[in-house]
Amino acid sequence: MSFIDKNALVEAIRKSIEITKPRRFKQSVELIVVLKDINPKSPEGRIREVVFLPHGLGKEVKVCVVAEGDMALKAKELGLLRVIDKAELQGISKKEAKKIAQECDWVLVRTDLMPLAGRILGPALGPRGKAPIPVPPNADIAAVVERYKSAVSIRTKDQPQVMCRIGVEDMEPEKLAENALKVLSALETKLPNPRNNIGKIIVKTTMGPPVEVPLR
């Protein structure tokens, strides 16, 4: 990316970690990109993208699976938080769907169950930016689950900005920077004029003050 220097990004991340006060929990490191000349309600400003980070998130990501047959059996062998079959899915109430939406970071659904999952789980998952992810019946569910453990979702809401985690405070700043660059590269492909549409890039820990990354 021509408008951001990796070394400057590394230093901004390092500073954001150094100036944050110690907490009783491991803080996430967050990336915030403020957009300009972008209407988040317009088609070009409505960004919805999944990004797979090269160095993961440094903390547990809860992946849940909706499947039948062999895929369900293999998913259960992975020790996931939830593996839901068709019969269980059909009996899920609105209250239970909300609980699933709160507990699961990603919900992977065998493609033939997508219509049912969309109807039952979609209303709870959608507003949280956790729309069900279709998985082909012949996919290696273990590999798909592992991949989504390093995934983040970037999306615009009401404001022209995107925000996501890029790791945790005890990860190396260089690895956090490479995760951030992966997100920025994905965002770049979605913007009509990235150099002009990106107004600010900010990094911060969960409870720490923001640190702006200088742009070229």
Q: CA–CA separation, 195 vs 1, rounded Å?
A: 9
Residues 87, 115, single domain; the answer is yes
Q: Please report, for the domain that includes residue 96, its CATH number.
A: 3.40.50.790
**Do the domain assignments include residue 1?**
no
Burial class (CB in 10 A: 0-12, 13-18, 19+), 176: buried
* Domain end among 122, 148, 174: 148
User: Between the CA atoms of 99, 102, 105 and 109, what dihedral angle is there, to the nearest 10 degrees?
Assistant: 30
Residues 67, 143, single domain; the answer is yes
- For residue 93, the enclosing domain spans 63-148
**Do the domain assignments include residue 68?**
yes
pLDDT of residue 41: 87
pLDDT of residue 1: 65
**Do the domain assignments include residue 31?**
yes
* pTM score, whole prediction: 0.91
Number of domains in the chain: 2
pLDDT of residue 45: 82
Residues 74, 142, single domain; the answer is yes
pLDDT, mean of each 10-residue run, the chain (216 residues): 87 97 94 94 87 96 96 96 96 96 97 96 92 95 97 92 96 98 95 91 97 93
